[in-house]
Chains A and B, each alone.
Chain A
Amino acid sequence: MDVSGPSLEVRLADGRVLESRRIGGVLNRLIGIPDDYLSRAEEADRDYVEQEWRALLVSALLGLSRRAIPVVEPPHPYALSGRWRSPVEWSLLAARAGLAVRPWEWRDGLPDPGGPDRSSASVLVIGDRVLADGRLGAEIPAACRRLAALAGRATLQVELGTDEAGTAVFAGAGALPDFRSRGEAAVEALAAVLGR
Chain B
Amino acid sequence: MILLCGIRSEAPMAMVARELDRLGAPVRWFDQRRSLETRLCLEVDGRGVHGILADTDGELSLDTVQAVYVRTMDDRLLPEVEGLRADADERLRVRSLHDRLMAWLEATPARVVNRGSTQASNASKPYQAQLIVEAGFAIPDTLVSNDPASVLEFRARHGRIVYKSMSGIRSIVKVLTDLDVERLDRIRWCPVQFQEYVEGVDVRVHTVGQEVFAARVTSWAVDYRYGSRFGAPDPRIEAIALDATLADRCRHLAALLGLEFAGIDLRVRPDGEVVVFEVNPSPAFSFYEERAGLPIAAAVAHRLAST
Contact = CB atoms under 8 A, between A and B. Distances in A.
Interface residues of B, number: 51
A58 B127 contact: yes
A149 B47 CA distance: 19
B123 A105 contact: no
Contact of B49 (A54, A92, A100): A92
B102 A52 contact: no
B49 A88 contact: yes
A124 B121 CA distance: 29
A101 B45 contact: yes
Given A76-B120, A88-B106, A107 B41 contact: yes
Contacts of B96: 108, 112
Interface stretch (B6-14, B139-147, B204-212, B225-233): B139-147
B191 A52 contact: yes
Interface in A6-54: 6, 11, 40-41, 45, 47-49, 51-54
Interface residues of A, number: 46
B198 to A, nearest CB: 13
B107 A88 contact: yes
Contacts, number: 151
B61 interface: no
Given A6-B130, A62-B130, A85-B106, A51 B42 contact: no
Interface string A44-86: 0101110111111011001100100000000011100001011
Given A56-B126, A103-B45, A83 B100 contact: no
Interface of B: 39-49, 93, 96-97, 99-100, 102-104, 106-107, 116-117, 120-130, 133, 138-139, 141-142, 144, 147, 165-170, 189-192
The 4 closest A-B pairs by CB, nearest first: A86-B103, A95-B46, A59-B126, A51-B167
